A and B are shown apart, each in its own frame.
Chain A
Amino acid sequence: MHNAFKTLLTLLHVPRYRRIAVGIGILYLVLFLIALRDITLGGSGVQFASVEWTRMFSATGPFTFEAIARLTLPGVTVLIAPMNILVGSALSLLAALNLMVTYVAYNQPSACRFNRSTGVLASLPALLAGGACCAPAIVLILGLQVSSLFITAFQVLIPVAALLLLVTLKLILDRTDPERLTLVDA
């Protein structure tokens, strides 16, 4: 674990890798909020509405929560659910670190001895989480019929995704040799 953190800190000292991590993190958070339907198409004019903040803890699904504000813009509506943003930020941080290390592996294969698709694959499950409450889009596309098992799997998707991201991050960092990294900012 010590070595993994050391490698991570070493990589984060490089501004280029930090920028990549921040960029991926923001993009991942936006995708997560789209999957949760907190960002949706549709809306006209510019409006802002809110309700009492205590509603932010009311669950709308497994590990998903109520919005307490709504920003309507032309063509898009953003629901502001602080707990979803908090959960999404934690997942985005883990996904960003996974993908940043994967990026390093592509550029410096000699320093990294892991399958480079690992981090990318680990980042995908959390983006399916929004399907837990209203799965029709993915179900219609895949032509699936939802079973109890499917729903149960979706209900634990977010914690499983977080665990998966943590484990893969540890794995790929352990297989990255900080001594062989070229840490020059491009």
Chain B
Amino acid sequence: MIRVPRTLFASAVGLILGGGLYLALHLTTAWTASSPLDPVLPTADTPYMLSDGIADYTDFMMSGGPPPDGIPSIDAPNFVDGSSARLDDGDMVIGFVHEGDARTYPQNILVHHEIVNDEVGGLPVAVTYCPLTATSQGFKRGDTTLGVSGQLLNSNLVMFDRDTESYFSQIAATGLTGDHAGNALDEVNLIWTTWGEWRAQHPDTKVLSDDTGHMRNYSNDPYGRYNPRGGYYSAREVIFPLMHESDAHHPKEMVVGARTAEASVYVVLDDLKTQRVQQIGSFVAVYDADFTTAHIYRGDVLPEITPLEDNRYEIDGETYAPNALPLDALVSIEAFFFAWHAFYPNSATV
């Protein structure tokens, strides 16, 4: 009679029981998720231009490792006052204001969750952040919520809506699969800046609390660091395959891009900082020193824009803040250069 060591036996039984429970839980979740709801996700009237077909995108999309919701979105966010936020002035944050309600989403929390389903100034929005491409983009979400699919396209976040379970590319802001394939999401402008800059302009801002309902170490970034910049965020290496590559700039150079139904443009943020105004065809980018970012506008006939002191710009004798020029304002997206190029290889620039 062979005696199996008790510890070995206990471990085997534990694994079998644990595996059984895991499977049971997954089957229950899959059954619950299949209940259909009415479509509730707002989409834009006009789709954005795409450099590749939707089928090319879905063919190229690949697993980043985690399953859907393996990186859990924050669906019941809590906020604290700016005075109780544990942030240094140089820490990166994502800022959003709507109807006077200013919110701060610290990068150190978003890097672990990538999506916050929030309601700001009465507007339900999904604040999304992809650490691999350094892109933060906001989307109106209506009565549904967005989740992290675990898939990547050009190293960039692929999200899904919990209503129709369609997949969406973050940078392209466009549906890739399901009922929303080909539809553009309705975007809002977010600001990628530092805590010091955001707080100086929005002293009453509320800050996303690290009491997220999830157990993570928010003082540890799995990819690198921003204050000062290091690790993945400054290395030349890009982890996942790209549809289009270019040596025009360092892969992690920060650019600001925008797109319409017909065209896309980008500017290199450091160059714009020096020149303050850059015109690219019918697009113009102006530098915003308050947030170290750029705003991109479009106009069939662009006026002369003169940079003034104190982060102001003059057009036809009137002065304006960089985010309030009397032109057609586009959603401006900060991104690592490699990511913008992978989606928009023919993007115009100066």
Q: Is the CB of B217 within 8 A of A134?
A: no
Q: Is the CB of A8 within 8 A of B5?
A: yes
Q: Is the CB of B22 within 8 A of A59?
A: yes
A70 and B215 in contact (CB under 8 A), knowing A136-B231, A140-B231, A146-B240?
yes
Binary interface encoding of chain B residues 1-21 relative to chain A, with 1 for a CB under 8 A from any of its CBs, else 0: 011110110011011001001
Q: Is the CB of A42 within 8 A of B219?
A: yes
Which residues of A lie under 8 Å from residue B224 when comparing CB positions?
136
Which residues of B lie under 8 Å from residue A9 when comparing CB positions?
3, 5
Q: Is the CB of A145 within 8 A of B11?
A: no
A77 and B65 in contact (CB under 8 A), knowing A9-B3, A134-B222, A145-B238?
no
Classify the secondary structure of B's interface with A. Answer: loop
CA distance A42 to B210 in the complex (A): 14
Which residues of B lie under 8 Å from residue A70 when comparing CB positions?
215-217
B221 to chain A, nearest CB (A): 9
Interface with A: B66-74, B88-96, B272-280, B285-293, which one? B66-74
Q: Is the CB of B70 within 8 A of A133?
A: yes
Which residue of B4, B11, B213, B217 is within 8 Å of A42 (Cβ)?
A: B217
Binary interface encoding of chain A residues 35-69 relative to chain B, with 1 for a CB under 8 A from any of its CBs, else 0: 00100111110000111000001111110011111
Which residues of A lie under 8 Å from residue B220 when comparing CB positions?
37, 40-42, 77
How many residues on the A side are at the interface (Cβ–Cβ under 8 A)?
55
CA distance A134 to B247 in the complex (A): 26
Q: For the complex, is A115 an interface residue (Cβ under 8 Å from B)?
A: no
Contacts from B to A (Cβ < 8 Å): 2-5, 7-8, 11-12, 14-15, 18, 21-22, 25-26, 62-67, 69-72, 213-217, 219-220, 222-224, 231-232, 235, 237-241
A to B CB contacts below 8 Å, 20 in the list: A2-B2, A5-B4, A43-B217, A49-B215, A58-B25, A59-B67, A61-B65, A61-B66, A61-B70, A90-B15, A93-B8, A133-B66, A135-B239, A136-B232, A137-B222, A140-B232, A140-B237, A145-B240, A151-B64, A155-B65
Q: Which 3 pairs between the two chains have the least Cβ-Cβ distance?
A: A42-B219, A77-B217, A67-B215
